[in-house]
Amino acid sequence: MSNANISSDSWMQSLNALIKDSPLTHIALPGVHHPASYSFFTGNTGKYVTQNTTFYAQLMNGIRYFDSRPTVNEDNQNQLVEYHGSHQASFGASYNTILRQFKDYFDGYNTLVDFGSSPNVIPLAGNRFAVIYHSERVTELSNDSTNDSGKSVFSTRLFYVIGSFNDENQKIKWQKPQPYNFGITPDATVTPGGLIVEVHQSQNYDDLYYTLGSIINGDPTFNLSNQEKYTTGQQPSIGQITEGELPCFLEVHKSQNNDTLWYLVLSPTNEYTRLETLSLAKKVSTPSCSVTGSFPTQVAVPRLNRSLVFYTDSEGIAVFTEASYNNGEVIFTTPVSLCVSGSAISAVLMEEKDGTLQIALSVKNHKPTYTNRSYAVVHIDAKGALIDCTKTDFGNDYPSWNAEASALFYHTKSRSLLSFESDADLLANIWYQPLIIEENRVELGHIDNHDEAKTQEFCILGLSHSQLNANTDLEDFQTLVNHFLPEKIVPFDANAPLDRTPLDQYLKQQQQLLIVLDLQPSVVEKYPVFWPKSGCLTSCWHNEKSLNANYYKKIKQYVEQRTEPKTKAQLYVLQTHLTSNSVYSQLLNWDYDYEPITNSYLASLTELLLDNNVNIIESNMLTDFLTDFAIRLNEQKFG
């Protein structure tokens, strides 16, 4: 933001004294087109990707108007999702995800880590940790307008994001996600000396790679020159199994062809530039049989030369076997079944005393409607025998609906168990949920949200140009609205039109979200709880295929030459839209009274988009620009 005194995430609150007595139709709002199309489930229509950050990130960047297109995903319980382009060909995020992010923003705290899958955790010093995961991102724009495949646009990237945990209110302060490689299903371990060993599967093949990194000034760094393919397989897991200057690491993975589990022992060279394979890949086996299963994960105790390998067997039962390392040989105990079942298992060590281990488990349940998670606290003695296993199930009221894979982090001081869960949405997201341990049981934790932390911003969600018709059932959507935002929605009131209701009137009643249905009349008539079509979203499109200065001159000429009278319900919105062919802005019913749009702003926007050294996709520069632009226009109009 060029105005150092105003923050993007609360700019309306900062301008409250200027704009509070004005109706929404007089306030300039920065907006986005297709806000939930920041990646696609189908992945075959890259040119229709319009954003590259989550809904929450757009809110934090100052966006207040969201021009969305809903449709029904008939293959997933008639779930309402955003689409862009061909119906059933380019789904974005669901409205479950969208409304949950609105709730987070209005509550003043973000439970969304990022959009992505397969999280794992790297412990750092003190209350800090890093979550690693994979996420399908737009990494480049194609200049070829005939390219519909999207293959040059999408890449499955590996990210890490650093969090700092506050044990008093259970909140996490997040840094910006950082890409570090390409691939899927990452796992990592870190030694007391700060050596990071990360393993992952190739994004296109069943090749497994390791990457070495280190902790520098408290933060993880990864050296891509110190990476190497070490075998083939899927779902790799890594754990430190011995101590020493050159420790040994046990790697366990599933075969790419069946459910047989394999292992290798790896150790760094003296220069810590690569890992040496101390043994060829071998099957995880006991004296009687080979071990088969999926989703291997480890709880390693290098001081004891032990690693507990947890996995789920062919029946979906959670199982563990203990691996011990001695004189270059790994011995596995007979597998022991546990009290939980499902898939996508994760585990974390909470306490070790005299060789007895207290471990927390998270397992994806198998349920017909929701796939919530089961949790368990497991005690295993010094000889690897199971002492007890205490299970906890959470019902459908559990905040993380449709939880898939998860990662656990244990904060010893507060006995808090932090769960990072990727959901089963069409566009997978990773959410944070605090848990606590009470009498060897896992219970839901609580994020302490004080009123002073809640935002006083106002947003508009426009649902328009959809595939919906009179037969569409929006009851589930209304249920989601009532679940996440029961007090925040502006109710329909014919006596409080947009052009005469001051902004402050909404905020004093804690009404912060206006949902506008610009749909077919037959749909609007069925759902009067939302604002009906009122003519407030008429668009004026400027979609040029190339990024050039002449295009922005056309915008300026359009604004300067516009003389037709304003209608009652106009909204004044700057929109940004990212596609594989262009980045462009859209003006919705621009108010002629906002003159002048300065040449310097048009020039700076043009320079930003034409600068080959600026990666617009990897940054939030365009939304920052539009938010700053809207702030200046409002200051000019009302100041």
Render pLDDT for 339-363 as a digit per residue (tens, 0 to 9).
888 888 999 999 999 999 999 999 8
**Residue 149: what pLDDT?**
43
The structure tokens 């040989």 sit at 329
When pLDDT is cut at 50, 70 and 90, the band that residue 209 belongs to is very high
pLDDT higher than threshold 60 for residue 565: no
| Cα–Cα nearest to 323, from 335, 332, 311 | 332
Q: For 507-543, write each residue's pLDDT tens digit.
A: 999 899 988 776 666 665 665 555 544 333 322 223 3
Q: For 255-287, write each residue's pLDDT tens digit.
A: 998 889 999 999 999 888 889 988 888 999 987
Q: Residue 91 in contact with residue 37, Cβ under 8 Å?
A: no
**Residue 352: what pLDDT?**
93
Give the residue, 616 or 240, on which the prediction is more confident. Answer: 240
**Residue 211: what pLDDT?**
95
Q: To 10 degrees, what angle do helices 549-561 and 599-610 make?
A: 150
Convert 104-138 into a string of H (helix), E (strand) and C (coil).
HHHHCCCCEEEECEEEEEEECCCCEEEEEEEEEEE
Q: Nearest 5°: phi and psi at 129?
A: -160, 165
Q: Residue 110 in contact with residue 455, Cβ under 8 Å?
A: no
Average pLDDT score over residue span 481-502: 80
Least-confidence region, from 44-53, 67-76, 157-166, 248-257? 44-53
Q: For 548-563, write each residue's pLDDT tens digit.
A: 344 444 444 544 444 4
* H-type alpha helices, 448-520: 475-484, 503-508
Q: Using only C-alpha atoms, what is the Rg of the chain? A: 26
Class of domain 1-69+452-639: alpha beta
**Residue 85: what pLDDT?**
66
**Residue 324: what pLDDT?**
93
**Residue 558: what pLDDT?**
44
Least-confidence region, from 249-253, 367-371, 445-449? 367-371
Average pLDDT score over residue span 627-637: 79
Q: To 10 degrees, what angle do helices 95-107 and 475-484 make?
A: 20
Least-confidence region, from 311-315, 417-421, 431-435, 462-466? 462-466
Cis status, amide bond into 596, omega within 30 of 0: yes
Least-confidence region, from 107-116, 204-213, 268-277, 468-477? 468-477
| Cα–Cα nearest to 103, from 372, 396, 398, 399 | 399
- Give CA–CA dist 3/479, Å, rounded: 40
| 599 burial type by CB count under 10 A (0-12 exposed, 13-18 middle, 19+ buried) | exposed
Average pLDDT score over residue span 164-189: 91
Q: What is the mean pLDDT of the chain?
A: 78
Give the residue, 403 or 19, on which the prediction is more confident. Answer: 19
pLDDT higher than threshold 90 for residue 88: no
pLDDT higher than threshold 80 for residue 588: no
| 111 burial type by CB count under 10 A (0-12 exposed, 13-18 middle, 19+ buried) | buried
Give percent of the chain with pLDDT exceeding 90: 35
When pLDDT is cut at 50, 70 and 90, the band that residue 389 belongs to is very high
Domain with CATH 2.120.10.10 in the chain: 112-141+153-444
CA angle (503 as vertex; 572, 578 as ends), nearest 5: 35
Least-confidence region, from 145-154, 266-275, 312-321, 324-333? 145-154
Q: For 93-118, write each residue's pLDDT tens digit.
A: 888 889 989 999 998 888 889 888 99
Most confident of 62-66, 151-155, 502-506: 502-506
Domain with CATH 3.20.20 in the chain: 1-69+452-639
**Residue 271: what pLDDT?**
83
Q: For 439-456, write each residue's pLDDT tens digit.
A: 888 888 888 776 556 788
When pLDDT is cut at 50, 70 and 90, the band that residue 545 belongs to is very low
**Residue 44: what pLDDT?**
46
Categorise residue 77: left if φ over 0, alpha if ψ from -120 to 50, beta otherwise: left
Those residues with Cβ within 8 angstroms of residue 192's Cβ, 6 or more apart along the chain or in another chain: none
- Give CA–CA dist 422/185, Å, rounded: 12
The structure tokens 């399908």 sit at 136
Q: Nearest 5°: phi and psi at 508?
A: -65, -25
DSSP state, 23?
B
E runs forming strands in 107-246: 112-115, 117-123, 128-138, 154-166, 171-174, 178-182, 184-190, 195-201, 207-216, 219-232, 234-240
Q: Which residues pair with 128 in a beta bridge?
A: 164
Q: For 128-172, write each residue's pLDDT tens digit.
A: 999 999 987 765 544 443 334 434 456 788 999 999 999 888 889
Least-confidence region, from 189-193, 244-248, 490-494, 568-572? 568-572
Give the residue, 68 or 612, on which the prediction is more confident. Answer: 68
Give the residue, 93 or 334, on which the prediction is more confident. Answer: 334
When pLDDT is cut at 50, 70 and 90, the band that residue 326 belongs to is confident
**Residue 121: what pLDDT?**
96
Average pLDDT score over residue span 203-225: 90
Q: For 403-439, write each residue's pLDDT tens digit.
A: 677 899 999 888 889 999 888 777 788 999 899 888 8
Q: Residue 407 in contact with residue 131, Cβ under 8 Å?
A: yes
Average pLDDT score over residue span 84-92: 65
Class of domain 112-141+153-444: mainly beta
Average pLDDT score over residue span 477-495: 81
**Residue 586: what pLDDT?**
41
Q: Nearest 5°: phi and psi at 527?
A: -130, 70
Q: Residue 366 in contact with residue 342, Cβ under 8 Å?
A: yes
